[in-house]
Structure 1
Amino acid sequence: MTCILCSKFINYQLKFTDIIFLRKIENRVCQKCLASFTKISDVHCKRCFKSGTKETCSDCKNWLKKGEEVKHQAIYKYDEAMREYFKMYKFVGHYQLRQVFAQEIKKVINTYKSYTVIPIPVSPERLEERGFCQVTAILEWCDIPYIQVFTKKDSEDQSRKNKVDRLEIEGLFSIVEGYELPTKVLLFDDIYTTGATINQARQILKKEGIKEIKSLSIAR
């Protein structure tokens, strides 16, 4: 078996039961490639997991001034290795890269057992362009159940915006009719930058009467 990031051989002992029950081989990334990604250490903002401080970061202070509570967790730092990963996954379209962080994502989401996962969607334009939604593709590979209650209007990709523009995204989402909304929600996205996207989704859910809303991203 070869690593899906560097194509080098991985010594994997395939079990007979794996073949019989058609089990997915989840760890298809070599240890060297996994080590290139930096997990967020204990030194992070207690509200959004921004690295470098144990105090409330400037982004979260801005949200608090607006009366918005931030309850976010992230797993990895958004560094050069992570930027390259998302470039290959989202923009080049290497669909198999949805598998890279599966084990870690499953482990973290399993700590939110009483929460219903709601992914942040991509716009119809972006979905047509890429051929898949990078967030739901990861959840589906991980066999994590979710409900898709949001639709997203077409807009410029977040990665092409500066910080100010990212904060100005009013009216980005709307609720799909017909869902019975849960009482506790875990919003899931790939990257958390300013928190504007997550906050807008949170605001919509709050208007629907949901009081317990937390969020999780792969990178921060």
Structure 2
Amino acid sequence: MKDCLLCSIPIRQLTWGGLVGRSGDCICDDCRSGFERIDSQPSRSYFQETIYEKSLDTIHCIYSYNDSMKSFFHHYKFLEDAALAEVFRNEFLKLRPAVPIPIAPNFDHLKRSFAPVEALLPAANVLSILEKNTQVKQSTRKRGERVTSTNPFSIRSHVEVPEEVWLVDDIYTTGTTLHQAAYVLKEAGVKKVHGFCLAETLLKK
């Protein structure tokens, strides 16, 4: 018996005496039930008639950014509990090649010990071909500032790009990050870019 990664309560596993719980899960049913699955295809209207309009061929978000998801990200990203990447890793198993949104290097105010988006992905699926060239976080910007911000991404030197990729981020708000990264990938020769996010939220005006 192992403990839930979120609440630390022991998880009951499958036994010979009867089917109890789910074998191999890393969180308990109570914690799992707090996540609201939405399987959405969020609006991309912010980018109509801009250079980013056709950057993403598809976009899919799995969960709502509700209170349970906010708590998850607080512990995962800001308290740096890297073990929590296991909670949702199965959601990303079929994404190959998966291009994670990178973090900017040398954050003076946020020196993370791991890359949160890349850690969600099975290592065999990861194709790290993007670089981020700014230390400004999108979460510090309002909606209008995000949509009109300078593109911070570039392709790493001396890398080959495939014809089709899954571009992965953790949270979808306006979609600016994904559209900017997808634009760079298309400019580098990628034919199709599919956006994929763990959670979707709405940014107030």
Q: TM-score, normalised by structure 1?
A: 0.77
Query: Shift of the alpha carbon at 1:93?
Result: 0.9
**Aligned partners of 2:46 and 2:174 also within 8 Å:** no
Equivalent residues of 1:26, 1:102 under 8 A apart: no
After TM superposition, list the pairs within 5 Å mapping 1:1-220 onto structure 2: 1-12=2-13, 27-40=25-38, 44=40, 49-50=41-42, 57=43, 60-66=44-50, 68-69=53-54, 70=56, 71-106=58-93, 110=94, 115-126=96-107, 129-139=111-121, 142-220=122-200
Structure-2 separation of matches of 1:29 and 1:126: 31
* Distance apart, 1:162 and its partner CA: 2.0
Question: Taking structure 1 as reference, are residues 63 and 135 closer, same or farther at Cα in structure 2, changes over 3 Å only?
Answer: same
Structure 2 counterpart of 1:64, one-letter code: Q
| Structure 1 equivalent of residue 18 of structure 2 | none
Query: 4+ residue runs of structure 1 moved beyond 6 angstroms?
Result: none
Structure 2 residue aligned with 1:53: none
Measure, in 2, the Cα distance between the counterparts of 1:90 and 1:185.
25
Q: Is the 8 A contact 2:34 2:68 kept in 1?
A: yes
Letter in 1 for 2:156: V
Higher RCO (Cα < 8 Å, 6 or more apart): 2
AA partner of residue 103 (structure 1): N
Using the TM superposition, give the Cα deviation of residue 154 of structure 1 relative to its aligned residue in structure 2, in angstroms. 3.1
- In the TM superposition, residue 194 of structure 1 has moved relative to its aligned partner by 0.7
Change (3 A) 1:26 1:201: farther
Partner of 1:22: none
Structure 2 residue ranges without an equivalent (≥5) = 16-22, 201-205
How big is each residue's C-alpha offset from its partner over 1:142-163, in whole Å with a ceiling of 9 and x where there is no partner? 3442111111123232223222
> 2:36·2:64 contact (CA, 8 Å) conserved in 1?
yes
Q: Secondary structure at the match of 1:187?
A: strand
Number of positions where the alignment pairs a residue of Structure 1 with one of Structure 2: 189
Identity %: 30
By percentage of residues, which structure has more helix? 1
When you count strand as a share of all residues, which structure comes out higher? 2
- What SS is found at the alignment partner of 1:214? strand
Equivalent residue for 1:54? none
Residue 218 and residue 189 in structure 1: after superposition, are their counterparts in 2 closer, same or farther (change >3 A)?
same
3-state DSSP of counterpart to 1:129: coil
